[in-house]
Structure 1
């Protein structure tokens, strides 16, 4: 028998819907014997805590796609029953995929193998005792309600979250994965995908969603969305010791000021003319470049970067070099963009040095993270700028969560984990968004 209990089956060649993908993965995780023995609808539905409707319709779709084959129980008395078993195509697919090597495979598998994952969003402490009325288990037409009606996280939502987890880095940040690929991986329609992203944000599984921009902004190039996943979500299990969180608040430049500092007036004007959506995307790219420098030089002497600039140059060239814009009234494309590559490098270098100067030695002394990711919070009107540093791995000899307000009469407070922060503070700090 093929060992599949620790595999994530995400293949772009599977032309089935989200619920069928969820059922297939749950079946592989929790009932690997399906590969050698047939299964019936009712027993499997009870085992996986799914409705018979979902299991029946998913099995039919998987059979039509060639992943399952049907068998009739002709030797039984009465009406012949129907069973399903894995097809040779599915067996070959599983054998070919082998054991997936992704950063959060264990969390993705949990979404399929653990039925008791609930659609519970973050609630302020004052609202903790206000429980919503349970949804009815029977729909108006008399058919069984969806799995989420029992309070569990629904199949489509789990499929999307699992797809994002398999694409995320160790800090839970997903970049370079466009909506088209997510639709292929999940079987969701464009409308359903947008709905499920909003749902994951509202439930706190996605900290921040930075929508990408279409080729209507940059000539012939689409910029994919960025997703900051909340790996500390309580419904994902005890993950608080995997990562450290530093919330850093200080008086600093606004998004526009940081992006345009030092640029000639005409170039600054042209950059700002791209609009808020494009500027937000570029700001988070700048945060990523700064994160790259911090990851490689945290705890080291300032401005001694060795070969690091070359790696950052390559990253900026790959991502920003393809972005071209038109100069009004002229035919030449990219009239100011080439000079922006050097500008982004300089701004990222300056930002990284500022953070190292303010934070090294004051937070987690002696800890050397393998990866640091900056997550900017939304702009505030009081002049304070908040960014969160997600670090991997978590410091072993220090508190895992620090809130540092670096202004006059500021403070530095330590917490055992992010879970010790009040939910309202997490929204304020940008660790959660609405």
Structure 2
């Protein structure tokens, strides 16, 4: 494939393609075929993937995740032009720097090549609703070639454009297995810049009179009559964890699980208890080394820690269920965490993509 054709398909400048191909050729990832053109003049330079690259490519379907179609749209010329507008309009929108030069493409309110690459990397690791939670910053830097500073800047750019709905920063804490939790990103897979989005997913703003757990509710639970303030199992477990910014989104994720899989059991007078969610919660946290398994007292303490997060999630799910009618054929519900609560609700329907009127209390 020639640089000119590739530039046309990706909606990028031909010079950018040529420079990139030169680097890929130097890295022996791409080889050059200097076949003579059938026309007169300078032979057309065509590029092919190196045999070592072809042999390393995944042979299975779905190698690029559930959003493979969105990746194609993201790098198509049509979506590229829709994202940035006409060439004439882009020229009008381009800002001028203090040095009198045209500002970079991002200043014209459209996606640059690097930003599209970053977004594509996130999409390749996202679940059907657009949540990315298994990729570290180091991995993102390695896959995109960006340094830490540039990664931070470009993630902020995607968020300002609405392509990232929310981000939950990762942290190191003894509360979690491996003592580390990666950042979580919530992508807007319905964004117009992705060519119309995924027809199976709805994204709706939501602002009911439902609040997510407060800091006091998460870190300072009501004292059990059998424990003093300093001896309460939950307080002992959370001591020194400083992980409220991660714990609250986790609670919303647990509430989303209940809404997705057990919504019909979240009625006004339901005494439903979800053992599978309790198991998920227990697996997400690191039981203290001193709390020996099999010891009646420590087993009780650990059960109380799990129950603490379970009850917080159950209240959110129950309150949400009372406000919103979700008795539709939607397979997944995701409450997207924002400061002080949640504003976006993602609905996934893989059963009936033609369903109209996604259930929501706001728009």
Contact kept, 8 Å, 2:255 with 2:314, in 1: the verdict is yes
Paired positions, count: 333
Rate the CA distance shift 1:203–1:395 in 2: closer, same or farther, 3 A: same
1:286 matched residue in structure 2: 251
How far did 1:97 drift?
5.1
Range 247-256 or range 188-197, more displaced:
247-256
1:313 matched residue in structure 2: 278
Unaligned residue ranges in structure 2 (runs of 5+): 291-300
How far did 1:339 drift?
4.8
How far did 1:49 drift?
3.1
Rate the CA distance shift 1:84–1:231 in 2: closer, same or farther, 3 A: closer
Any idea what the Cα deviations from partners look like across 1:374-420, whole Å, max 9, x if unmatched?
Answer: 123322xxxxx65543221188655236336xxxxxxxxxxxxx5xx
Rate the CA distance shift 1:401–1:156 in 2: closer, same or farther, 3 A: farther
Unaligned residue ranges in structure 1 (runs of 5+): 1-33, 121-129, 326-335, 380-384, 405-417, 419-434
Give, in whole Å, the separation in 1 of the partners of 2:361 and 2:53: 49
1:242 matched residue in structure 2: 200
Range 239-248 or range 341-350, more displaced:
239-248
2:113 matched residue in structure 1: 155
2:325 matched residue in structure 1: 363
Contact kept, 8 Å, 2:141 with 2:151, in 1: the verdict is yes
TM-score (norm 2): 0.75
How far did 1:373 drift?
0.9
2:55 matched residue in structure 1: 92
Contact kept, 8 Å, 2:158 with 2:164, in 1: the verdict is yes
How far did 1:196 drift?
1.1
Any idea what the Cα deviations from partners look like across 1:128-178, whole Å, max 9, x if unmatched?
Answer: xx99942279xx899x99665776411111111111112222222222322
Rate the CA distance shift 1:301–1:274 in 2: closer, same or farther, 3 A: closer
1:69 matched residue in structure 2: 31
Rate the CA distance shift 1:318–1:60 in 2: closer, same or farther, 3 A: farther
Give, in whole Å, the separation in 2 of the partners of 1:145 and 1:180: 29
Give, in whole Å, the separation in 1 of the partners of 2:165 and 2:239: 26
Give, in whole Å, the separation in 2 of the partners of 1:79 and 1:396: 52
Any idea what the Cα deviations from partners look like across 1:342-368, whole Å, max 9, x if unmatched?
Answer: 321232233323333x13xx524x413
Q: What is the root-mean-square deviation in Å for CA atoms of aligned residues?
A: 4.0
Rate the CA distance shift 1:220–1:116 in 2: closer, same or farther, 3 A: same
1:376 matched residue in structure 2: 337
Any idea what the Cα deviations from partners look like across 1:210-256, whole Å, max 9, x if unmatched?
Answer: 11113588796111111111122221232385334362421657521
1:186 aligns with 2:147: no
Contact kept, 8 Å, 1:272 with 1:279, in 2: the verdict is no
Residues 75-224 of structure 1 aligned to structure 2 (within 5 Å): 82-94=45-57, 96=59, 98-100=61-63, 102-114=65-77, 115-118=80-83, 133-135=92-94, 152-215=110-173, 221-224=179-182
Contact kept, 8 Å, 1:218 with 1:323, in 2: the verdict is no
How far did 1:59 drift?
0.7
Give, in whole Å, the separation in 2 of the partners of 1:287 and 1:231: 20
Give, in whole Å, the separation in 2 of the partners of 1:294 and 1:287: 10
Give, in whole Å, the separation in 2 of the partners of 1:284 and 1:182: 22
Give, in whole Å, the separation in 1 of the partners of 2:42 and 2:355: 66
Contact kept, 8 Å, 1:316 with 1:345, in 2: the verdict is yes
Rate the CA distance shift 1:84–1:210 in 2: closer, same or farther, 3 A: same
Contact kept, 8 Å, 1:289 with 1:312, in 2: the verdict is yes
Rate the CA distance shift 1:215–1:106 in 2: closer, same or farther, 3 A: same
1:49 matched residue in structure 2: 11
Give, in whole Å, the separation in 2 of the partners of 1:157 and 1:116: 15
Give, in whole Å, the separation in 2 of the partners of 1:247 and 1:106: 28
How far did 1:48 drift?
3.4
2:217 matched residue in structure 1: 258
Give, in whole Å, the separation in 1 of the partners of 2:177 and 2:356: 48
How far did 1:370 drift?
0.8
2:345 matched residue in structure 1: 389
Range 243-252 or range 225-234, more displaced:
243-252
Give, in whole Å, the separation in 1 of the partners of 2:190 and 2:65: 18
Is the partner of 1:391 in helix, strand or coil?
strand
Is the partner of 1:402 in helix, strand or coil?
coil
